[in-house]
Amino acid sequence: MLKEMAATIVRGPEEGNWAPGYYYVLFEDPDGIRLEVCFVPGAGLLAPGTSFDPSERLSCWSSGLP
């Protein structure tokens, strides 16, 4: 779908470490607006026994992309 709309794929699809099974794609639409679409299977961080510490996580917006 992104290629059909002439979007520029900046990064991805790529697995991230926010939650088990998480992945994302970062792209720019034809007007140059940058968007990120992500997928988290199941309950993600809401699953029992899952914890979240943002100081241990990285994302595309903290990895030096312009």
Walking along the chain (66 residues) 10 residues at a time, the average pLDDT comes out as 87 78 89 90 74 59 48
Q: What is the pTM of this model?
A: 0.59
Please report the sign of the dihedral spanned by the C-alpha atoms of residue 11, residue 12, residue 15, residue 16: positive
Amino acid in the structure at residue 2: L
Which single residue is written with the structure tokens 């900046």?
Answer: 10
**Do residues 60 and 11 make contact, with C-beta atoms less than 8 angstroms apart?**
yes
Give the CA distances from residue 31 to residues 1, 13, 35, 52, in Å, rounded to whole numbers and listed in that order: 16, 21, 11, 35
Cα separation of 20 and 33, whole Å?
28
Q: Identify the pLDDT of residue 9.
A: 92
